[in-house]
Amino acid sequence: MRGTYALVINIRHQQHVRVGSLGDLCLAPGWWVYVGSAMGHTSMSIERRIGHHFSIAQYPHWHIDYILRTIGEATAAVWAESVIRDECRLSRALADSDQFKPGPRRFGASDCRAGCYTHLYSYIGHGEPIKSITEVLMRIGLCPKLTLKN
């Protein structure tokens, strides 16, 4: 299955972390949302990508792997099936929402051709961000589904 997802991450404590070519970053504790997509089949399906994020990668591949290995934990993924890559459209919609604040420049977007500032957002709303992410996905015409980490 192909699609776009928003990974919900709980950053437990503020700490510097080296993130590949982005260098040292410091993220404040709280809820963060990482936007990604999985457009392949089998090993690159959305189910496998979310499963990858729910486990701790032995060798970091994506920017988010560095965060999940050291200072954060993925607790949920809000996702939608799609045959086109909608991650930049979702990222722009989060940036336009008053519930989210853009994270570090180029995070998860270093290869972005649409000119996204970032694909990582701090949630500045109230409660957990799942409801706000769901509303944003619906606003851009996608049908959201939820996967919770066991």
Please tell me the total count of domains within the chain: 1
Give 81-107 pLDDT, tens digit per residue: 998 889 999 999 999 999 999 999 999
Give 35-93 pLDDT, tens digit per residue: 999 987 766 799 999 999 999 877 888 889 989 998 889 999 999 999 888 999 999 99
CA distance 119 to 45: 19
Q: What is the pLDDT of residue 51?
A: 92
Q: Taking the mean position of all CA atoms in its chain, how far away is CA 39?
A: 15
In this prediction, what percent of the chain has a pLDDT beyond 90? 65
Q: Is the pLDDT of residue 17 over 80?
A: yes
What are residue 74's DSSP bridge partners?
9
DSSP state of 27: E
CA distance 146 to 66: 24
Q: Are 3 and 63 in contact (CB under 8 A)?
A: no
What are the φ and ψ backbone dihedral angles of 79, each rounded to 5 degrees? -140, 165
Query: Please, what sign has the CA dihedral across residues 131, 119, 143, 54?
Result: negative
Domain of residue 63: give its range.
3-148
Q: Give the orientation angle of helix 87-96 with respect to helix 130-139, to 10 degrees.
A: 110
Q: What is the pLDDT of residue 58?
A: 78
pTM above 0.85, yes or no: yes
